[in-house]
Structure 1
Amino acid sequence: NVPANEFTAMTLAALAGINIPDIELVELSNLDNLPQINLPDEKQAFAIKRFDRDNGTRIHMEDFAQVLMKYPHEKYNSASYEQIGRILYKFSGDGLVDAQQFARRLLVNILLANGDAHLKNWSLLYSDQVTPRLSPAYDIVTTSVYIENETQYALNLAKTKDWYGVSYAHFQSWAGRSDIPWRAIKPHLDDTMEKARDLWPKAIGNLPMNEGHKRKLKKHWSKLESDFRIL
């Protein structure tokens, strides 16, 4: 059920103001030249439009493991979200806008119980081949439905990884440690929460995530700290 999970999570993320590429679920039977991998019981694939191509021309892209010169096996434990925020704010072609979007995505990953937002799942895109910008979001999945008792996100945020303990105070600390003005971040977190609370409870009913996973996600929403609780 991973394709339906990812489609649901990415759709909810978009409703909360996250910049995502075009996505769809496609029937596996309609796809040719698939690799010889075992996909038990899967009838659909999650399709995402490539954003590192423009009419066949390659657009340079670097994930944050590359940016920070980390090996792939170091993607979980060798950096923090403060480091990513600081780099975006200082070096992006529009540092404040990208830092605001990054903060929004951090919150959405917590709301969606995605414990896999590691260094390789954040990237810079060089659309003009020179200027770095935060790429569209990708690989947002509700991982907690597959990992028993998962309660943490991938990297430290204000010295914690605990979904159920994080609050606005942690994001304010993150902003301070990232040298980003908090007054420019908080309205985007407020807007994210307003959209999630207003839209997600109804929208999830019409999305393809299986019912057991929906129940687990709703339970997660009810356990979050009061700043970020949805149900």
Structure 2
Amino acid sequence: MSEILEALHDGRRVGRLTQESDRLAFAYAEEWRDRPDAFPLSLSMPLARRDHPDSVVRPFVSGLLPDDGEVLRRWGQRFHVSPRNPFRLLAHVGEECAGAIQFVPPERSAPWLDGSPPEGIDWLTDGEVADRVEALVRDRSVARRGGDEGQFSLAGAQAKTALYRDPDSGRWGIPKGATPTTHILKPNLGDFESFEINEHFCLQLAARLGLRAAHSWTETIGKTPVIVVERYDRARLGGRLVRVHQEDFCQALGRAPENKYQNEGGPAAKEIFTLIREHSSQAGEDEARFLDTLIFNYLIGGTDAHAKNFSLLLAGGGQVRLAPCYDLLSILPYDHEPKKVKLAMTIGGDYLLWKIGNHHWETAAAEWKLDPDLVRDRLIRMANAMPEAAQEIGDAASGSAFIRKLVAEIRLRADECWRHFSATKKKDRA
């Protein structure tokens, strides 16, 4: 007998996710396919086909869940299901996922479809927010508590929780039912010194250099340093807060989330360029944005830029756009062996950051079907602009020793890259 979850968007049935004999399947509702504003769950599950098999459904569904196996194990214990069964986990946390789709058991779906879904916000005191953040530091699986009505799932490996923030008062609350979360809070667990400052700095730097990046800030909640990131898959339209659909590139390419790194079978940059070229509503602009993000990560030593850390926004009428940057982090301020630092995707056939030079970028440009001179010019321009931009952001920050080191290391690397690639350009012209 099949188990069923209704896939809903804004009170409409998008389709049904089913599980039978441990095989997943998804079928679009005909009324959804007929809508002019319909969008697919995933580019790997086009609307042109009603029914989609386990081979593409499983990577999409698994990609909605955390990457951390320990979190999944704890969830399995809490919900009395197998941590290796993404369907049964989603049955407990699927009402608030990345993107616009809510996965709701049939027995709970009637109010949504009748236009009267459960909604609202349970407001938290500052002390209650601090208690939740500190509990998350102790156990990253407790992003929500058992009694909370608003259960949710966030993909990724980092500990995080999602809450609703009142735009006027700044108050935090737990939304439920049709009400979405607005912000993601990621506490510093002590794995990396000042990681929250690092990520916020890199997001600011990306934006300063012209990339679209998620808006963020840092604060101390209770005793815990936290980075707060505004969700780009939520938007206010006509006074309403709505969910915006998105998927990461593992989902879009039908790859399991555990294969997010290229050297583990994950997507290469070439595959992402191809997908953008074939599906983006503004392919040229999004190709340039993705290229700039690759260059940015190369310059800052962003070693975790795998396929799950790039996403697409999907909307009606076949609109597809590259999502803003998120989860940006530099390895440069931490102790590391320079000749062992690897990128998540190859550039010109190599992962090792120290090895990658002009020849690798020329080879990569050919693989990506881009003009090598254009690629090098964009790299030189960004490397030239980065030191001053980094210094300006650092000067406006708290001036901590970590910030000073981060700024110094990024300035040094960007300047070295600018000198190297500028010299090769002059040599080629000679």
What TM bracket, shorter-length normalisation?
0.7 to 0.9
Give the C-alpha shift of residue 24 in structure 1. 1.2
Equivalents in 1 of 2:363, 2:371: separation in Å? 11
Name the residue aligned to 1:24: 217
The aligned length equals 217
Which of the numbers 226, 236, 248 marks the counterpart of 1:45? 226
Amino acid at match of 2:310: W
Give the C-alpha shift of residue 155 in structure 1. 1.1
Equivalents in 1 of 2:381, 2:367: separation in Å? 22
1:173-204, CA deviations, whole angstroms, 9 ceiling, x for partnerless residues? Answer: 32321223446545433432232144224433
The alpha-carbon distance between structure 1 residues 7 and 188, as it changes in their structure 2 partners (threshold 3 A), is: same
Question: Which structure 2 segments of 5+ residues have no match?
Answer: 1-193, 424-430
Amino acid at match of 1:99: E
Name the residue aligned to 1:62: 247
More strand by share: 2
Amino acid at match of 1:193: A
Say which SS state the counterpart of residue 19 (structure 1) adopts: coil
Query: Superposition pairs for residues 1-231 of structure 1, below 5 Å?
Result: 1-29=194-222, 43-55=224-236, 56-76=241-261, 77=263, 78=265, 79-128=267-316, 130-146=318-334, 148-149=336-337, 150-182=340-372, 185-207=375-397, 210=402, 211-218=404-411, 220-221=413-414, 224=417, 226-227=420-421
Equivalents in 2 of 1:54, 1:168: separation in Å? 41
Q: Tell me, yes or no, if the aligned pair for 1:7 and 1:25 is still in contact at 8 Å.
A: yes
Whichever of the two has the greater Rg, that structure is: 2
1:99-144, CA deviations, whole angstroms, 9 ceiling, x for partnerless residues? Answer: 1111111111011111000110011111447321110000001134
Name the residue aligned to 2:16: none
**% same residue:** 21
Amino acid at match of 1:5: N
Equivalents in 2 of 1:147, 1:95: separation in Å? 39
Equivalents in 2 of 1:217, 1:160: separation in Å? 21
Give the C-alpha shift of residue 52 in structure 1. 0.8
Q: Tell me, yes or no, if the aligned pair for 1:80 and 1:157 is still in contact at 8 Å.
A: no
1:193-227, CA deviations, whole angstroms, 9 ceiling, x for partnerless residues? Answer: 23214422443344457144445445544665712
TM-score normalised per structure 1? 0.81
More helix by share: 1
Equivalents in 2 of 1:198, 1:214: separation in Å? 10
Say which SS state the counterpart of residue 258 (structure 2) adopts: helix
Name the residue aligned to 1:35: none
The higher relative CO (CA closer than 8 Å, separation ≥ 6) is in 1
More displaced stretch, 144-153 vs 2-11: 144-153
The alpha-carbon distance between structure 1 residues 122 and 134, as it changes in their structure 2 partners (threshold 3 A), is: same
Q: Tell me, yes or no, if the aligned pair for 2:380 and 2:422 is still in contact at 8 Å.
A: no
Question: Which structure 1 segments of 5+ residues have no match?
Answer: 30-41
The alpha-carbon distance between structure 1 residues 221 and 186, as it changes in their structure 2 partners (threshold 3 A), is: closer
Say which SS state the counterpart of residue 218 (structure 2) adopts: strand
